[in-house]
Structure 1
Amino acid sequence: MTTELRPLRRSEWDLWYDGILRAFGAAGDLDRELYRELTEIDRSVAAWDDGEIVGSSSLISFRMTVPGGAAVPAAGLSMVHVATTHRRRGILRSMMRRQLDETRAAGVEPLSVLTASEPRIYGRFGYGMATRELDADIDTHRVTLDVPPESDRLRLRIVNDPESVLDVCEAVYARRVPQRAGMLERRPGWERRPLTHPQPGREGTTAPACLLAEDEKGEVRGYARYALKSADDDHGTPDGQVVLRDLEALDTAAYGALWRCLFDMDLMRVLRVRGRPVDDAWLHMVGDSIGLCRPRWGDALFARPVEVGAALAARTYTVPVDVVLDVEDAFCPWNEGRWRLCGDSAGATCERTDDPAELALSVRELGAAYLGGTSLRALASAGRVRELREGALGAASVAFATDAAPWLPHGF
């Protein structure tokens, strides 16, 4: 049998999306209309065999914050699947080849990013784990929370229709985007993404509500969108859960006020936290053992430079750096060779050079270290980065690091 890989047509979208739902074992398609709107048809492909779609992938035109605060164009790879019946035929490799070649040819996005259901797949295509995320199940009956005194000055109110305050929440989110690497500017339509996952009733939760923190002028300083899941223990004692969906705040007062209210909700015992930054401030506000919160850290965003020079020049560096990198990139050979990176907190350049290499690494390690969440020194300890000039590793590792841990606020 032969497989044809070609651009998606708008008339084929439903068939294409049905294949994706089957591949990911989705129980329903409640998000169908949202994703119909968000899909960039001209950046989507399908693999066909005898009239059936057996593979798919799509690119999304994002702008992502990088160290230094700039919003850099990034191609978000999504909707990737290959039917079980068509594995080991090179379909995935063909789709990855096509998407990266087209991204490079367009000359707009120096980065490619993705979230991975099966992370082991993408390393061979040059993607490194660039951000992690924090999950926790906090027993709010046993864990105390100490918030700043200024939190008492804010007014809190619950809005049962999150859509009615979507604009003010997005204004808070937009102000937060430049403050942490890995955050995504929300293109039109993507502001609805946090309202649709999970759907009301999924996993027995209520419809979502929105908690607002406002100052004395009525300005919204922060928000938290959440749902409730009622339950009783074996003795009939209320044992419900608060399921936090997303939370953003402009200052520590609003942040503390929101978290305290989530801790204090009647008849709820557990605050379920998913996909938060690994250095989230609540970790330092709990007055008891963090073990009672059952924290878990997992992978989130994977990144790879499409154009090494443009990508490394697009971010800034914590301390001055001047280093020659010998980059290996078998899948995108235009990146291979030696690059001189010179930069500091004001900006950077990264250009081809014939000077002797000082660090050797693959593009996968560059992707992992790019947002500052993975240390070059740690990668070197694992044998993934080689120091060719004494002292080069320490200087570069400090330069690539960021003050705040990078974080992806939602999947795509």
Structure 2
Amino acid sequence: MNTDLRVLSAPEWDSWLSCVELAFGGVPISPETREMYAALSEPRRALGHWDGAECVGTAGAHSFRLTVPGGAPVPAAGISMVSVASTHRRQGLLTSMMRRQLDDVRSWGEPLAVLMASEPGIYGRFGYGAASAETKLRIDTSQVRLALPPGTDGVRVRRSSPGEALGACEAVYARLAPLRPGTPVRQPGWERVPVNDPESARDGGSPLQCVLAERDGEVTGYVTFHLRPAWEGAVPRGTVAVRDLAALDPASYAALWRFLFGIDLTSVVECGNRPVDDAVLRLVSDVRRCEVRVRDGLYVRLVELGAALGARAYRAPVDVVMEVEDTFCPWNAGRWRLTADAKGAAICRRTDDEPELALSVNELGAAYLGGVSLTTLAAAGMVRELREGALAGASLAFSSDTQPWCPHGF
């Protein structure tokens, strides 16, 4: 390897992003999206490998606050724009960027790093664990009915432009963010991401549309979507492609889904990213006609293990000693005692006591948001119980009533 790894300078940003663009297929990023990324970028938190004047490797780290079990917003590095030029594969560029990046994240005092992987097999060797999942739905609205909760008829739905509704939608998002682990608390500028609407990303659909749910003049929910008209002979077969949907109460939530099901000239509602415990799966009359597909979502890396485990709340009291393996960030390796009281408040400290569970930092990352059971990981041979009963107690403590979910990429 004969390249120079360094922190990005602002004038290098265009070349750096062009490396990302080429690594992900070479399809040009739309001018609108490129401008948005430029505004959101943090060059001092980005790394680039340079071969002379050519950028051949990239790795960025956004400044995030991530909701964890208990509702606290924990500082986290949102890892993004990771790429290596195809001409420079298998030369150690990715490993060197991951090494430098995690060292930097630690120096910034951020106990977590999170990412959404383009390929799931890449990041395990750097200590990341798949901590959440997301669901893709394709609902045949010509055959599926909705069971509506009381109060649905009292919710008004009205159209608005995405830009005009942005403030109201962000207010709803801000109220919901503490309720679901894995949700980024929106930082300044990131409100643009849900309404970024380049024509190239519409898949033949309409410009982004927005409908608000209201009760007593207060916005209680919203949905953004594209319409893709289609006909099968003389029969309309249009699709409603949902971009984002959120609501503060069951009636508002159901009212938005009823609106989507009733749009003229359509017979399908598609959702590309919904939580795996989305309530719509309980409202539909026939879940088999919803084509539910589940895939991996957010990956979590504990950068400072003690601080990370002490920052979240726990579902039940726990006192457990863990022997943790972490070859990539060896400062995390060794024995840790995690103690949480009945209110969920926790402390995680070094100890010399005998271990009761043995696992790697990958499994702790997977279990961190409460969506992956330590018991399940043990059944897969990834967690070892060294004291009888320790696994059940720890697994319960780590769990969450609400499944973790990240509503948008970064």
TM score, norm. by length of structure 2: 0.98
Question: Which residue in 2 is equivalent to 1:157?
Answer: 158
Percent identical across equivalent pairs?
56
Q: 1:371 & 1:229 partners in 2: Cα distance? A: 36
Question: Which residue in 2 is equivalent to 1:326?
Answer: 323
Which deviations, in whole Å up to 9, do the C-alpha atoms of 1:176-208 show, x marking residues without a partner? 000010101111110010112664763100001
Q: 1:112–1:303: 8 Å Cα contact kept in structure 2?
A: yes
Change (3 A) 1:198 1:329: farther
Aligned 1:8-407 pairs, distance under 5 A: 8-25=8-25, 27-30=27-30, 31-107=33-109, 109-159=110-160, 161-196=161-196, 199=199, 202-216=202-216, 218-233=217-232, 235-288=233-286, 290-344=287-341, 345-407=343-405
Which deviations, in whole Å up to 9, do the C-alpha atoms of 1:87-140 show, x marking residues without a partner? 111100010001100111222x10010010011010000000001000010000
Q: 1:199 & 1:71 partners in 2: Cα distance? A: 34
CA RMSD of aligned residues (A): 1.1
Q: 2:13 & 2:72 partners in 1: Cα distance? A: 34
SS of structure 2 residue aligned to 1:119: coil
Change (3 A) 1:88 1:200: closer
Deviant stretches of 4+, over 6 Å: none
Q: 1:247 & 1:201 partners in 2: Cα distance? A: 18
**2:51 corresponds to which letter in structure 1?**
D
Which deviations, in whole Å up to 9, do the C-alpha atoms of 1:361-404 show, x marking residues without a partner? 00000000000010000000000000000000011001100001
Q: 2:153 & 2:356 partners in 1: Cα distance? A: 53
Which deviations, in whole Å up to 9, do the C-alpha atoms of 1:322-361 show, x marking residues without a partner? 0001000000000000000001433100000000000000
**1:232 corresponds to which letter in structure 2?**
W
Q: Which runs of 5+ in 2 are unaligned?
A: none
Q: 1:76–1:112: 8 Å Cα contact kept in structure 2?
A: yes
Q: 1:200–1:207: 8 Å Cα contact kept in structure 2?
A: no
**2:220 corresponds to which letter in structure 1?**
R
1:141 shift after superposition: 0.2
SS of structure 2 residue aligned to 1:149: coil
Change (3 A) 1:410 1:199: farther
1:22 shift after superposition: 1.1
Q: Which runs of 5+ in 1 are unaligned?
A: none
TM score, norm. by length of structure 1: 0.97
What count of residue pairs does the alignment treat as equivalent?
407
Change (3 A) 1:197 1:23: farther
